[in-house]
Chain A
Amino acid sequence: MSRLETPADLEKLREEIIAGRNAKEKWVAVCAGTGCRAYGAETLADAFEEEIEKRGLSDRIGVRRTGCHGFCERGPLVVIQPSDACFLGAQPKNVPAIIDKAVTGEGATDKLLYLDEDSGKRLGNLDEIPFYKYQKRVLLANNVRIDAANILDYIAVGGYSALAKALSGMTPEAVLEEVKKANLRGRGGGGFPAGIKWETTRKAQGEPKYVIVNADEGDPGAYMDRSLLEGNPHSVLEGLILGAYAIGASEGFIYVRQEYPLARTHAAKALEQAREYGLLGKNLLGSGFSFDVKIHRGAGAFVSGESSALMSAIEGRVGEPRPKYIRTSEKGLWGKPSCLNNVETWAYVPQIIDKGADWFRSMGTEKSKGTKIFSLVGKVKNTGLVEVPMGIPLRDIIFKIGGGIPNGKKFKAVQTGGPSGGVIPESLLDLPVAFDELSQVGSMMGSGGMIVMDENTCMVDTARYYINFLAHESCGKCVPCREGLRQMLAILERITKGWGEEQDLDTLDELAEFMEAASLCALGQSAPFPVASTLKYFRDEYLEHIREKRCSAGVCTALIAYQIDQERCKACGACLRACPVGAVNKSEDKVFTIVQAKCIKCGACYTACPDKCRAVIKVPAYTIQNQPAAAATLPAGKQ
């Protein structure tokens, strides 16, 4: 394929691709995102190809391996286009039936359709399934339609038309103005307006200027950036090129987490193909504008996601942050003006240029425009990636889209903003999801991790978890963060072991205040939020651990013990087989007991015990010293 020399060339190519594609009546889109791959999506796609070939339907039906469709809980996902018929959990043995259904409308595929529990009806179409119905998929929409490794797919759905529009009819200033007018706020955490950051870099002294994609995605529990980069890398690239044009940058970087090899491969492939078509490199589309991009792999450090640390890492140095008074947008990579934005922020740019700022502003709230992708995970029925308009209540995301809490459990809290965020209790569930609203209640938007917690999640343990994570990830350069985290961790571990004292809670408050005020970078400044928010909304739980030495969620291992309820035990031996340390004892007359001295409280027996028996029970640790069977059982159910 030859280079595209003008915007008209691009349009011509687009028409050709579409005409070629239209020859096929149907496409089978098999999700090949990370989740579905784990379920065997690759073999499934192979099976489709084989079956179609066997039936001689290759001219009429095409197979496409696409990026993440979002509904990872129920993978592997298959969508037939253009009808958008959606099949969940398909296996290679279902392939003939799905093809029958696609071709003739008949086929034994009922079991693969979504079952609506309220009405008992099977829902066959993507838009009918509640998980999709209440979303507004703008950025993720194309993931279902394109093969990320093929630039032609992206062009067919309108890709690079924003770039053509900007390069042929808009000045860099006009592109910048459009983004400013849209009030696109950074999706990576802080919510800083992208247009204003771009303008700072544009106006800053120094050449060359750099634009950088932050795909470090260090927030544990979030995988939006991965799915965008894996599923639709050209959208991020097109945004980056547009940004470079508006800012006057000649070189760009994509900083990808080392844990995401597929994202890296797809990004590399996208760069290569874009270069081949003259959409990257010298003289893009004959406009005279030149720009190229390199990929840099992160080497695994949470703090490297921070802007100044990320730039040090690209320079080949230790990825440590520096004080904020020098802004990277003015003096960043190699001391030159550098504009860093999150993957999702960049991916929005082409759409804004294409459809206009007003279109973007029509979605969301007064101060938070557009849509946001969340990684809806944890104790929620429909886990996956969801994209919603800003301002939608948390309750809608968790209950309408997420389908509520599984196994009949009660909702306890939802955590947003990752290690820099906080937990939000039931009473605040009607809060609209938007930057400022979430910050006001002690959490934050963050990059989009949304972890749902039920009654079996312990809030003290959650705080301990985050502080442990942060203590491990703190670069140790400044004292408040390094020592503050160490102290906090020590206190929280004491509490989870039942050795805490009430005054510890005051110390935690003090430490939080000090760290927030005196830390060098945002990691330390926001590190106390997980503690502060759990203390604020779940102080009772802390007190329960301290006063009663009890963890009613049954999580803090030091405070619980496992026992076998002889009345319920059917002597199946599942616990004995599951125990990794041989702590289950079987007497001659088949009475199973747990030897407390050997038990490491891993919970394997608890999980192994069949649901219908539930003979392995958790009891507060203090009860077993005196009496054998437990009156005071903790709530049942898997963690």
Chain B
Amino acid sequence: MDASKRRAGERAETQPLDVLIIDDEENFLEACSQTLQTGGYRVATAKNGTEGLKLAGESHPNVVLLDLKMPGMSGLDLLGQLTKTDPSAVPVVVTGHGTVDSAVESMKLGAFDFLTKPFEPEKLLETVRRGLSLSALKKEAQAAGAAEEQRHDKYDLLLQGLDVLGEAYSLGLEKRQLLDELAYLESEARYHAESLGQIKKKERAILDIRNELREADAIMKKYDFQKNALIQVLLDIQEKFRWLPRHILSWISGRLNIPLREIYVIANFYEAFSLEPRGRHTIQVCTGTACHVRGASETLTRVSAVLGIEAGQTDSRQQFTLETVHCIGCCALAPVVQIDSQYYRDPSRSKLEKVIKSLEKEEAQACLA
């Protein structure tokens, strides 16, 4: 924490603007400022990025609404400069058609929320209200930080946590569930500003969720967000996460506009999907016909004894999942066991123990590293 932050703290006393709106569309500027002024906020407007930056430098607005598509300086550039020159301002991005790319990009640059035109006045007011409370929180933290040097670390944490919240908001777009969760976290952050350690933990959880949702987005993008690619998307998700977590399924449901119920029908119908976490390694014992007549049931008992779990189970450390399959297409070597991608012809107990042990060792090494 440095001088700029302290300055920001001092600034807090000088009654800044509530909202600065930057957009090239006059009608939009007018409509928004009217709505906000009626709501009792102090509002200023600017028609392009350069003008907007200048104004922001002079009047230190708490919330900045900015359009992504403007002639001259682009919205993203503006966003980048704005967060640098005035870190306490809370930027909200407005765009004609919200695409994932610009959402993610602007989120990376520090946008707090994302409004897609056209929107209801209530939506605007709600967003600004939340932005203002975040801004107050930010400034409070900065002020306190200025006063107490030795507690900077903690405030750092708070700020980071809040930033993550902001990022998650903008990724969350209109997702109710995530919004509710985040709103709850936000109020927690406010009331328990002392227990910042907690926030750190939640921050990590949110970060994880955010990263997971991003990965899900990347997967869906591979299939151009096509509805009919659902099974392919789910196969990729299953491969990546080793199961189909609920929050990802509801995310997909929103993105591809498929009812969650239908996604669950598919997840239940096909064998490839698992609704519970699977182990990092999969051990498949083939019980296809060729393997069955050559004594697969004995092989299964052997494998199950070595692993200490039954078919269909995962061990408590989520290392191994044991399952039976109807033919893995290696019938000439029946009975066959597949461990990850390697096939084994009726492995003996000691062979199995050796393979399992080497996998465990790999795991342990990966943990250390």
Contacts and interface: CB of A to CB of B under 8 A. Distances in A.
B332 A451 contact: no
A301 B289 contact: no
A538 interface: no
Contact of B290 (A313, A318, A451, A466): A451
B333 A302 contact: no
A316 B231 contact: yes
Nearest to A452: B293
B329 interface: yes
Contact of B331 (A320, A377, A581): A377
A449 interface: yes
Contact of A217 (B230, B297, B329): B329
Given A221-B290, A580-B301, A300 B230 contact: no
B293 A259 contact: no
B305 to A, nearest CB: 3
Interface string A300-315: 1110100000000111
Nearest to B284: A259
A73 interface: yes
Contacts of A383: 290, 331-334
A378 B294 contact: yes
A258 B330 CA distance: 14
A55 B327 CA distance: 42
Contacts of B341: 261
A453 B272 CA distance: 30
Contacts of A639: 293-295, 298
Contact of A37 (B297, B326, B343): B343
B235 A297 contact: yes
Nearest to B296: A639
B293 A457 contact: yes
Nearest to A313: B231
A226 B298 contact: no
B228 interface: yes
A578 interface: yes
A316 B227 contact: yes
B161 interface: no
Interface stretch (B28-36, B144-152, B198-206, B263-271): B263-271
B310 to A, nearest CB: 12
A449 B288 CA distance: 11
A223 B330 contact: yes
Contact of B298 (A302, A449, A469, A603): A603
Contacts of A34: 329-330, 343
Given A38-B344, A604-B302, A379 B295 contact: no
Contact of B289 (A299, A300, A451, A604): A451
A333 to B, nearest CB: 10
B292 interface: yes
A364 interface: no
Interface in B270-324: 270-273, 288-290, 292-295, 297-298, 301-302, 304-305
Contacts of B329: 34, 217, 222-223, 226, 257, 259-260
B293 A462 contact: yes
B81 interface: no
B251 to A, nearest CB: 17
Nearest to A230: B329
Interface string A26-54: 00000000110111000000000000000
Contact of A299 (B272, B295, B344, B345): B272
A299 B273 contact: yes
Interface residues on B, range: 35 or more
Contact of A578 (B234, B327, B349): B349
Nearest to A227: B329
A375 interface: yes
Contacts of B326: 218, 220, 302, 469, 473
Contacts of B235: 258, 297, 299
A631 B91 CA distance: 89
Contacts of B290: 220-221, 375, 377-378, 383, 449, 451
Contacts of A260: 329
A7 interface: no
Max chain A Cβ within 10 angstroms of own Cβ: one of B234, B271, B293, B301: B293
A96 to B, nearest CB: 26
A466 B326 CA distance: 11
B332 A222 contact: no
B328 interface: yes
B331 A375 contact: yes
Interface string A257-275: 1111100000000000000
A140 to B, nearest CB: 14
Contact of B327 (A221, A319, A462, A603): A221
A72 interface: yes
A350 interface: no
A8 B290 CA distance: 47
Contacts of B333: 35, 38, 72-73, 383
B325 interface: yes
A218 B329 CA distance: 9
A223 to B, nearest CB: 4
A38 B271 contact: no
B332 A384 contact: yes
A316 B302 CA distance: 38
A299 B273 CA distance: 8
A638 interface: yes
B292 to A, nearest CB: 6
B342 interface: yes
Given A378-B293, A580-B304, A638-B295, A301 B331 contact: no
A331 interface: no
A300 B323 CA distance: 13
Given A34-B329, A302-B326, A638-B295, 6 more contacts: A38-B343, A223-B330, A299-B272, A314-B228, A319-B269, A383-B333
11 contacts: A35-B330, A38-B333, A222-B329, A259-B325, A261-B341, A296-B231, A315-B228, A316-B229, A376-B332, A418-B289, A638-B295
The 5 closest A-B pairs by CB, nearest first: A580-B305, A300-B271, A220-B288, A72-B332, A299-B270
Interface of A: 34-35, 37-39, 72-73, 217-223, 226, 257-261, 296-297, 299-302, 304, 313-320, 375-379, 383-385, 415, 418, 449, 451, 453, 457, 462, 465-466, 469, 473, 475, 577-578, 580-581, 600, 602-604, 607, 638-639
